[in-house]
Amino acid sequence: MKIIITGATGRMGKALAAAAEKDAAVEVAAFVSPEFTTTDETHCLQLADFAGEADCVVDFSHHAATAALLDYCVERRLPVVIATTGQTEEELALINEAAKKIPVFRSANMSLGVAFLRQIAKKAAALFPDADVEIVETHHNQKLDAPSGTALMLGNAILEARPEAELTFGRSGFGKRNKNEVGIQAVRMGNQVGTHSVYIDTGAETITLTHTANDRSLFADGALQAAKYLLGKAPGLYDMRGLVE
């Protein structure tokens, strides 16, 4: 399978290239990043500069590149794995439109472990309907978006179990916690790869579900799995549920 890596000079782009190097079934057809200081046939500043053969684009770049990414993939009928987070509502609408024409795999977290955490957090929220649910995420101090896309994904999974609830970001000022709040707190420090904890507190007991990413290779491996999963799929929107269920 030949993949194109967008965001190739970033932390995740490099981790993905390293994972692809170790996988005999994967070849990197092109590396794309606006940060390249020199370019050639396989190192491009933008996707539109690459006209060679490929089976899938794997995107770990910046949400502002979403429209150009989708234009390229739709034009070339290429499946795309969108691992980038932080998309605006408009960009999410573009993703949904594109998924009518090409297979699109989108997940704010490419880890199978986080997909499992999502499942059990949703189950716990349903099993203890009166419990307070709080989500705390911790990432490195260079991360651009807060809260993390994964924390939002976990929060939205809780809302599937509790339609009356609403997400609350950060907390300050006066006033008691609203019963229907699902709080999300973002911590930024050091080199932390990413930790997500979901607390389910009934008053009498506290259940703590925590996933800790120790190495970025975790997300790169998951993204390659997603790219393989997309091959031969019909147009549509796919996510980690397809891989774990």
Ligand X SMILES: NC(=O)c1ccc[n+]([C@@H]2O[C@H](COP(=O)([O-])OP(=O)(O)OC[C@H]3O[C@@H](n4cnc5c(N)ncnc54)[C@H](O)[C@@H]3O)[C@@H](O)[C@H]2O)c1
Axis-axis angle for helices 149-161, 112-127 (nearest 10): 30
CB of 67 to ligand X, least distance (A): 10
Residue 29 lies near ligand X (rule: CB under 6 A):
no
Binding flag, residue 18, ligand X (CB under 6 A): no
Nearer to ligand X, 124 or 226 (CB): 226
Task: Say if CB 44 and CB 180 are below 8 A apart.
Answer: no
Asked if 83 is part of the footprint of ligand X (rule: CB under 6 A), the reply reads yes
| Complex with ligand X: residue 33 or 131, whichever CB lies closer | 33
User: With binding defined as CB under 6 A, does residue 238 bind ligand X?
Assistant: no
Q: Where are the beta strands (DSSP E) in 7-155?
A: 27-32, 43-44, 56-59, 80-82, 103-106, 132-139
Burial of 45 per CB tally in 10 Å (0-12, 13-18, 19+): middle
> 3-state DSSP call for residue 90?
helix
Pair 211, 217: CB distance under 8 Å: no
Q: Please, what's the b/e burial string for 111-127 (b: 16 or more CB within 10 A of its CB; e: otherwise)?
A: beebbebbeebbebbee
Question: Quick one: which of 58, 61, 105, 240 contacts ligand X (CB under 6 A)?
Answer: 61
Binding mask 188-227 for ligand X (x = CB under 6 A): -------------------------------x--------
Q: Residue 49 and residue 40: Cα distance in Å, rounded? A: 10
Which residue in the set 4, 13, 196, 227 belongs to the binding site for ligand X (CB under 6 A)?
Answer: 13
Q: Is 62 a catalytic residue?
A: no
Active site residue 143: yes
CA distances from 37 to 40, 165, 169, 219 (A): 10, 48, 39, 26
Work out how close the CB of 85 gets to ligand X at its nearest, in angstroms, rounded to a whole number: 4
d(Cα 194, Cα 47) in Å, to the nearest integer?
A: 29
Contact letters (x/-) for ligand X, 101-140, by CB under 6 A?
------xxxx------------------------------
Give first-to-last CA distance, the chain, whole Å: 24
Q: Nearest approach, Cβ of 212 to ligand X (angstroms)?
A: 14
Based on the shown chain and the rule CB under 6 A, indicate whether residue 185 belongs to the binding site for ligand X.
no
Q: Does 64 bind ligand X (CB under 6 A)?
A: yes
70: contact with ligand X by CB under 6 A: no
Q: How many CA atoms lie within 13 A of 85 on its CB side?
A: 17
Q: Does 7 bind ligand X (CB under 6 A)?
A: yes
**Residues touching ligand X, count (CB under 6 A):** 25
Q: Which is nearer to ligand X, 46 or 168 (CB)?
A: 46
Does 84 contact ligand X by CB under 6 A? yes
Interface positions with ligand X (CB under 6 A) = 7-13, 33-35, 60-62, 64-65, 83-86, 107-110, 145, 219
Q: Which residues are identified as catalytic?
A: 139, 143
